[in-house]
Chain A
Amino acid sequence: GAGVSQTPSNKVTEKGKYVELRCDPISGHTALYWYRQSLGQGPEFLIYFQGTGAADDSGLPNDRFFAVRPEGSVSTLKIQRTERGDSAVYLCASSRTSQETQYFGPGTRLLVL
């Protein structure tokens, strides 16, 4: 079956712009996660959704970052007033329940110039 997909695969933007990153989880997976990975580092947790609600957004670095999952499936990570330090690979993962294996998408590579 289809895995987790993320679009776009690459995004180049200018400092100060707004970007949206999309994640399509595996069908039927109620849990969805966003991570950020900088070069040479492991993923850093950003936010976890259970269904439509953000069960834990403690990893979001500041209020420029926001994520939604309005119908409990597709999720969008939104970054306002982008900064060069936001450049990273943004990974999305989903799992059937929060205690089961997380399946990762290929990531969106964001470059802020």
Chain B
Amino acid sequence: KQEVTQIPAALSVPEGENLVLNCSFTDSAIYNLQWFRQDPGKGLTSLLLIQSSQREQTSGRLNASLDKSSGRSTLYIAASQPGDSATYLCAVNPDSNYQLIWGAGTKLIIKP
């Protein structure tokens, strides 16, 4: 059974720092992996989607990497800003269908 873990549960860093969020999964046979952002009172916003054949995806200051063999993905945020404060969740799609397996998220606080 696929399980997704995100550590740490919370992270607080000063503005301007580069940071890495971690996601690990137990079964390397995945179709894709997504990183989402969740703001209080708002829905989930998809940030990056990495297909199983890809190693990384970039969007602006965000870079997500995928290492299937080790069951890990990282989300790198460059030059963090207070507006980056949110909860970041990763979700694994096991086999091209709709069912996403979610981590519990990392709550990120960027201090001005």
Contacts and interface: CB of A to CB of B under 8 A. Distances in A.
Interface residues of B, number: 22
Contact of A42 (B41, B89, B97): B89
Given A31-B98, A42-B4, A42-B102, A102 B43 contact: no
Contact of A98 (B4, B46, B97): B97
Contacts of A98: 97-98
Interface in B1-50: 4, 9, 34, 36, 41-46, 49
B100 A101 contact: no
A53 to B, nearest CB: 14
Q: Interface SS of chain A: helix, strand, loop or mixed?
A: loop
A32 to B, nearest CB: 10
Nearest to A49: B98
Interface string A75-93: 0000000000000000101
A45 B36 CA distance: 16
Interface string A20-59: 0000000000010100000011111100100000001000
A34 B104 CA distance: 17
A62 interface: no
Contacts of A103: 46
Contact of A4 (B43, B89, B104): B43
B11 to A, nearest CB: 15
A99 B46 contact: no
B105 A42 contact: yes
Interface of B: 4, 9, 34, 36, 41-46, 49, 89, 91, 96-100, 102-105
Interface of A: 3-4, 9, 31, 33, 40-45, 48, 56, 91, 93, 95, 98-99, 101-107
20 contacts: A31-B98, A42-B4, A42-B89, A42-B91, A42-B105, A43-B44, A43-B100, A43-B102, A45-B100, A48-B99, A56-B98, A91-B43, A91-B44, A93-B43, A98-B97, A103-B46, A104-B45, A105-B43, A106-B41, A107-B42
